[in-house]
Amino acid sequence: MLPSTFVMADLHTITPELFMCGAAFAILMIDLFISPQRRGLIHFLSILVLVAAAVLTARDMASVQTFAFTNMFVRDIASDVLKMAVYLVTAFSLVYAKPYLQDRDLFKGEFYALALFSVLGMMLMISAASMVTLYLGLELLALSTYGLVAMDRDNRLASEAAMKYFVLGSMASGLLLYGMSMIYGATGSLQLDEVYAASGIASNQNMLLLGVVFMLVGIAFKFGAAPFHMWLPDVYQGAPTAVTLLIAAAPKLAAFGMAYRLLETGVGTADVQWGDMVAYLAAISLVIGNLAALVQTNLKRLLAYSTISHVGFLFMGLVCADNTGYSAAMFYAISYSLMSAAAFAAIITLSRKGFEAEEVSDFRGLWQHNPFHALMVLFVMASLAGVPPFLGFWAKLEVINAALVSGYTWLAILSVVAAVVGAFYYLRIIRAMFFEEPKGEAPRLHSDLHLRIAFTINALALLIMGVFAEPILSWCRQAFPV
């Protein structure tokens, strides 16, 4: 018998999630009954699922907050914007992944099933109105990504990366769960709105703040923020590049959703305390990420340390603890997800069976042999470096402006210096493409047409969306009206 608090309207509110769950199981079952030669159908259906989920989300785009299942699930503009971005970035990731997986005999249905289950986990994290819902989504995402990293069982580096990811990820989840239990002990509730109401008058403020500290550690780990970044370079390098792309892009959107739900809608009354902690995490990430990236020759490790520095920029929006900062952080999360997907796709487009284009030196002479593709890679690196008028420039400008408005001048100055330092290692890749000769075989593009078209669209979008950034900014500001 259904609980008395259950109403049919709840199912309408979570229609995209229900569809994604059913589709992921359907993909898993369909894969059992088709031959390996027809596995391209799984790829097509998975992208079709993401398109259908986007239609379901856009059809009933939320204009006001809608709660479901006794306030455990929330749907609002912020959640819908983030979900649409997750669908887009994941669709790009699947297009990029197909030729890479086919070349390495990893083109299997479970890759797509796990990818869709990870998307479901992200959707739950983004729409969580309770710590229970958020933790359920987080673990669904984590378990799916652990399996994806370990897909190539015959690869020693991939197996080692999966073990590191699993062990450290489990520890971070435990710390996050412990922090939630401390907050429950201080406020008597796991509902985020009730936690917000009770946190300002809680009798045991020390227990509350201790819980916030443990939660911040869990959030920092999921983002890959320093000093909780020890898993990130090894996992990015060890995992198959198609999997690295998948876990490097869209999950950052879910991590932002988790941080916003926990810090603002949960313990927003303690923003003075956690704001300073997030500011220090941002500063450490900016410094460590950029300095470590300077000495990397492996491109996947370079992008991993680059991710840490970008997380520092994203945290600058969270530091502000107001709607201006949250809209800037959301804009940065969306921008970085698109840039990260394009950056790892640049590696895949030059990789082929028996060859991984993971070293900076593998891009030498690309301009002489394929000028158009070199130009597209230039767009990606320029956007990551924050060169105007690319999308990355406006994303950095928004979070820096938000930090200045909130009085974190020292952090804004540090971020500008970090951006200048970061530009140096992106310029190394550009120099290799345009001004250096290949030592061995000249770089060759992958023969897959869909891969090349998707990469071109992705790279051009970083320029076009930079020139016309205002509509996306307005969308993010609507999610957090001032």
pLDDT digits (tens, 9 = 90+) for 362-398: 999 999 989 999 999 999 999 999 999 999 999 999 9
- Residue boundaries of the structural domains of the chain: 8-479
Quote the mean pLDDT of the chain.
91
Q: Which structure tokens are listed for 48?
A: 């079709």
- Alpha carbon of 275 to those of 237, 307, 325, 359, 482: distances in Å? 32, 21, 11, 38, 19
Does the predicted model carry a pTM greater than 0.75?
yes
Task: For residue 73, give the H/E element and its range.
Answer: strand 73-75
Residue 271: how many other CB atoms lie within 10 Å: 18
Question: How far apart are alpha carbons 361 and 469 in whole angstroms?
Answer: 33
Amino acid 46 reads: S
Share of the chain above pLDDT 70, in %: 98
Confidence at residue 114, expressed as pLDDT on a 0 to 100 scale: 95
Alpha helix (H) residue ranges in 436-448: none
What pLDDT, on a 0 to 100 scale, did the predictor assign at position 6? Answer: 61
Q: How confident is the model at residue 163 (pLDDT cuts 50, 70, 90)?
A: very high
Task: Work out the burial of residue 13: count CB atoms within 10 Å of its CB; fewer than 13 is exposed, 13-18 middle, 19 or more buried.
Answer: buried
Tokens of 363: 């891009």
Contact 141, 34 (CB under 8 A): no
Span 108-123, average pLDDT:
95
Strand partners, 45: none
Distance CA 143, CA 152 (A): 16
CB distance 73 to 133 below 8 Å? yes
Q: What is the pLDDT of residues 415-443, one digit of tens each?
A: 999 999 999 999 999 999 999 888 777 78
What are the tens digits of pLDDT across the range 177-209? 999 999 999 988 999 989 988 887 767 778 988
Given a cut of 80, is residue 325 above it in pLDDT? yes
| pLDDT per residue as tens digits for the range 62-114 | 677 888 888 899 999 999 999 999 999 999 999 999 999 999 888 888 999 99
